[in-house]
Amino acid sequence: MVIFYKVSEVMSPLGDRDMAKYKYYDYSQSALIPVCLEEQIMPGTLEFAIHTLVETRVNMSIFDDRYHNDETGRWAYDPKILLKVVLLAYSRGLISSRKIERACRENVIFMALSCMQRPDHSTIAAFVSSMKVEILPLFRDVLLVCEEENLLGGTFFALDGCKVSSNASMEWSGTISDFQRKKEKLEQKIGQLLEEHVEEDGRGEGSSGTTNRKKQIERLKKKAERIEEFVKKNRPKIGKQGREIQSNITDNESCKMKSSHGMIQGYNGQALVDNKRQVILHAEVFGDAQDHHLVPPMLDGAKENMEAIGQGKDYFKGTIFTADSNYHAPTNLKKCEEEKVDAYIPDNRFRNRDPRFQSEKRNRHRRVDRFTLKDFQHKEADDVYLCPLGKRLRLNAKKVVMDGVIYRRYSADKNACQGCELKVKCIRRKDGKRRVINVAVGHVPGNLTKAMADKVDSEKGRKIYPQRMAIVEPVFANIEIHKGMNRFTLREKIKVNIQWLLYCMVHNIGKIVAYGVA
């Protein structure tokens, strides 16, 4: 038998005097708590900086032309309130407008910053996605405060980017011909399901499976219609190389790109950063995974921003500019030369030429002692090279230009290396069929690529370039990891760019909080 006692009836063997006593609590009770909203926004915090900047330093009158409710219509939420709430939310990793709405109802700091107003998620989402005209002036206002707080060095800059997923599915990516084939397959599947449906009707069979089949047919029809509509309205998407690249039905301005997290459908978020306090001077997203042509728009954008806050047109002239090897391309190098910046952008082979990385290279390939050009004997009379086993490598091309270097290319016969016992030491690629060697014979005169390679390889270049990582990489770590910006929730470049600039604004405001003198 089990006997239940009331708590009050359970006695200690030593009596009531030895019972532990706790304060009474009751979750069903109601309480009225006096809260001063202004006191919740504590000086020295990010929310205080956001509140102060929006109220006193940011020109919010640029939003006034949106509203025409001075005589009739419902009163609108003040853009100051909406901007404060969005900036604070982004600083805490709240990207979803529904989560921001909930925070305004439940979180005391959000309540204080919004002055107890509760904008719904549709109002918040519409406000963010419609700031295509206002976002850049807002970013520049915060940048001006950074300049006044002496947070900009103005002598050393670094450019880099991060690839972020967008609100688009890779399932809807492909070329126009891919979409047409997919549509045909959908139509074949629809036809097959319709035949099965007719057969069941003929037998008089009716079940839940029939209902599910009807729903499946409707879903497939909608997919096929969506593809057909996209193909009618859009032409093939042509890349920088002049070839068709994959389009995306959900967001055709995004692109499929390889990131540290694998293949994603997204945007390439770029940021140009000053070295003194890691303040972002300009930020922009691009629907292109390659960085080969991004220096011109980023430098031009940064120049416009600095001119807007009172700096001269030659702000970047003579300054140090660094970017990684992904930016080593003629278009980017030419822009640096035109702007007269002291650029350090290495090519992909700069580590192979740097003696500091030789031990790393040896460790990486320590299991295989591979052949080099020294192991091949040159027969000048016939202009051929002999491999260690005596097989000939004949002249394949007299002039091959790579990174400003002119090579003569020699290659073995197609079947010469098949079954060779030394193939593992000679051919690096697993699918390589024959040995090819490139012999450097000169450089292209006045080639920017060669000049840049020599500059990076110099003693000065090897001191300056490594500083790039300490300047720009922490910026992306702060935005992506600390601020939680690991995806874009909007579609189309203009709207995605708004989100990216808002996050960069939050980053710069954080620098004002940490290092500002005011």
3-state secondary structure of 516: coil
- Over residues 127-136, the mean pLDDT reads 93
Residue 56 CB neighbour total at 10 angstroms? 8
What tokens appear for 219 in the block?
Answer: 């879903």
Angle between helices 97-106 and 79-91 (to 10 degrees): 100
Q: pLDDT tens digit string along 172-185?
A: 888 888 888 998 89
Which strands, in side-by-side order, build the sheet including 405-412? 377-379, 384-386, 392-402, 405-412, 436-443
Q: Name the nearest CA neighbour of 412 among 433, 430, 429.
A: 433
Q: What beta strand segments (E) does 413-460 contain?
A: 436-443
Using pLDDT thresholds of 50, 70 and 90, give the confidence band for residue 431: confident
Cβ proximity of 268 and 287 under 8 Å: yes
What are the C-alpha distances in Å from 401 to residues 241, 333, 385, 396, 408? 18, 17, 20, 14, 9
Long-range contacts of residues 255-259, Cβ cutoff 8 Å, at least 24 apart: 255/287, 255/288, 255/289, 256/170, 256/173, 256/289, 257/163, 257/289, 258/163, 258/289, 259/163
Q: pLDDT tens digit string along 237-259?
A: 888 778 888 888 898 999 988 88
Q: Does residue 112 come out as left (phi exceeding 0), alpha (psi in the -120 to 50 range) or beta? A: alpha
Cβ proximity of 257 and 266 under 8 Å: yes
Cβ proximity of 269 and 164 under 8 Å: yes
Q: What is the pLDDT of residue 74?
A: 83
Q: pLDDT tens digit string along 436-478?
A: 888 888 766 557 888 888 899 899 999 999 999 999 999 999 9
Cβ proximity of 155 and 113 under 8 Å: no
What tokens appear for 93 in the block?
Answer: 């990793």
Q: What is the pLDDT of residue 367?
A: 54
Q: What is the pLDDT of residue 365?
A: 46
Residues 6+ apart with CB under 8 A from 124: 82, 85, 86, 97, 100, 101
User: Which stretch, 186-195, 356-365, 439-448, has highest mean pLDDT?
Assistant: 186-195
Q: What is the pLDDT of residue 169?
A: 86
What one-character-per-residue DSSP string does 145-196 give?
A: HHHHTT---SSEEEEEEEEEE-S--GGGEE-HHHHHHHHHHHHHHHHHHHHH
Cα Rg of the chain, angstroms: 32
Query: What is the residue type of 427?
Result: I
Say whether pLDDT at 204 is over 80: no
Using the 8-state DSSP alphabet, how is residue 382 labeled? T
